[in-house]
Chains A and B, each alone.
Chain A
Amino acid sequence: MPSHRKFSATETDSMVRGVGGLNGPQTQDQKGAIDTMMMVKTPENISFQYEISGPFYRFNAYIVDLIFAFGGYFTVVALFYFILLIVVGLVNQSLGISAAFFQLFAGITFGLVLVGFFLVYWFYGAYMETRFNGQTLGKRLCGIRVISVDGHAIDGVQATLRNFFRFLDIMPIVPLQMLLGSDSQVLFAIPTFLIGLVVMSLNRKFQRVGDLVAGTVVIFEEKKYRPDLIEFDDERVPNLADLIPADFVASRGLTQVVAEFAEKRKYLGPQRSADIAKHLAVPLMERFGIPADTDPDLFMCSLYHRLFVTREGDESPMGTEKELVKASVPEELETGSEL
């Protein structure tokens, strides 16, 4: 029995699933528990994951929105009155404005400002999220987006509901008077966001009350990920990879574990990564006849190099590699219809 089969099928399986689990309902639960991932199945019958955004990250977006919506609104109003005053001043100088007309104008504009405030307060988020596919300005800047729990885009009803119920999420609102003593004349009140925070921490998808009511979830979208393979600067890596026998075929589980290790080792110190590597590296080195004093970490890197960079593809269960490649790339892509 080859030594690398020391991992039982279920062990390697769970390791693999913990990384890039592809199918099966249990994957979602296992992964969700650790990494706040959400699995979505598309109409194309493809399953993919979203990373769910947590409360504190979303708070940034909320602050940006608050500044944008209300700061923007008050700026517009101030500008409007500034221009209006200049115009009124000029007209008054040349023609003269009656007090009644002035009163009429002031009344109408003040009324409109109040209605505008009401609209911005209750409908800014709803409008933005509907118009811009689940993103307000703040969410866009923070690279997050609101989607339905089933993975589809949200609609107007959901956007409106989740923004209405924000009023409950910011509760309890503490009047500043309560903190400063009742003599103070400050009427300002501070929203504590406690209900929202507690509700979010009680469910796996970090849904606040508004999200639960509307059936929405906030996900990360624009985090930077790279598709490339890991490159090692160390010259010894390819050399050592050459020592691995050409007829060595790695199981799927082993391949995944090696890749996982290679990607995570940059977060580990040299001692720690050697410790982790040796469980797999030492028996394999023994089998390949590689000197036992080789750095296990280095060996794992070489194995990665061998498996992903220099290895010729092995028979896959679903057909030859060439057939698969052909199946997945439509012809128009291969011929390259450029725009």
Chain B
Amino acid sequence: MKVAELIKRRSPFWKELEELSIQMGGRLSKVDPAYVSRFTTLYRAACADLALAESYQLPPQTVEYLHRLVGRAHNQLYRSQGYQFKGWAKRIFSDTPRLIFNDPCIQIATVLFWGLFLLAAYLSYHTTVWPGFSEAVVGVDGLDQLRGSYNQFGGNRGVGSGAFMMGYYIQNNATIGLQCFVMMLLVIPGVVVLSYNAIYLGAVFGFMFRPDSGAASENFQNFVTAHGPFELTAIILAAGAGLKIGLSWMMSDGLNRKDSLLKTARESLPIVMCAVVLFVLAAMIEGFVSPLGDFPWWGKGTVAVGSSCLLMIYFVVLGYPAAWPGGEEDGF
């Protein structure tokens, strides 16, 4: 058969496949099975044409066209699977906590964050150990502002402003958390972000707990108690998940660096999503419960203890490995 004739004979099928690919690419809902069946038949034929292109001695231009055509149809045939909600319950309540429980990177992030936080708080609280420490970290204006704002604190802010602050805290804090996660890929920038946040928060806490802070100190404690557990844990989780990815391509553990990166990134995503959820929970508490001035302190303490207990159940009870070295029956 002449090549020209062959191309002429096949072109209608190729064109039809192209048309179907375009139609299926724009689809938003299920496609008629008849179309799918026709599509796969055409796809197989095009695949066969491409495979036999050399035997047919097709010119390069036609081969190129077939490459595009098959590629395009392939992308419609093997479409993205979307978020598969079925496996989510297991992933959320079994796989992720086990992953977190076992993870050395999250332990490192925890130690780093709490260590720097407590150190900064200590240095800031005791004016004699490192005079001017809190001023150096937060700034004189910042400290004045802080004390001023907590002096006035105590009014009941109402549901409207509570909702607004909740939105603001989600936007602000979860963004910081995700940025920290992303920066951790290069380890050093991420560690800087995490350390900065730990030292800054530590300095603020130390300063506000000083006995000379007066009413501001009391109000501050009243404000931060309720949402503290969720928020601080969320920062640590985001940073730890990022650190996992950052270390994976440096210490690839027998895999090639790229594969190690891919594998770990896939594992880390549920952890960082868990952090985002904690940020949202923290923001809800911070928006609605924390600013309540007439809410007794023990009530907020109860919220804090309750949320800590929830975290404990999630990380330890759900996270405790079923059997060493279990938790990897199916992997991610």
Contact = CB atoms under 8 A, between A and B. Distances in A.
B162 interface: yes
Interface stretch (A69-77, A155-163, A179-187, A267-275): A155-163
Contacts of A122: 174-175, 178
A121 B185 CA distance: 20
A122 B174 CA distance: 10
8 contacts: A49-B67, A103-B158, A104-B163, A168-B185, A228-B7, A309-B2, A333-B13, A339-B34
Contacts of B47: 42, 44, 46
Contacts of A155: 80-82
B159 to A, nearest CB: 6
A209 B74 contact: no
Interface string A209-228: 10011110001011101111
B74 A48 contact: yes
Interface string B44-62: 1101111111111111111
B174 to A, nearest CB: 6
Q: Which secondary structure dominates where chain A touches chain B?
A: helix
Nearest to B273: A160
Interface string A309-325: 11111001110011011
B61 A40 contact: no
Contact of A221 (B63, B71, B179, B183): B71
B160 A106 contact: yes
Contact of A118 (B10, B81, B174, B245): B174
Contacts of A322: 1
Interface in A72-101: 100
B80 A227 contact: no
Interface stretch (B195-203, B261-269, B290-298): B261-269
B5 to A, nearest CB: 9
A61 B181 CA distance: 26
B67 A48 contact: yes
B281 interface: no
Interface stretch (B129-137, B145-153, B164-172, B213-221): B164-172
Contacts of B179: 167
Contact of B162 (A48, A107, A213, A339): A107
Interface in A295-339: 307-313, 316-318, 321-322, 324-325, 327-330, 332-333, 337, 339
B92 interface: no
A316 to B, nearest CB: 5
A290 to B, nearest CB: 22
A6 interface: no
A232 interface: no
Contacts of B261: 212-213
B22 to A, nearest CB: 8
Contacts of B272: 164
B127 interface: no
A316 B174 contact: no
Given A115-B171, A308-B59, A328-B49, A130 B83 contact: yes
B229 to A, nearest CB: 22
A34 interface: no
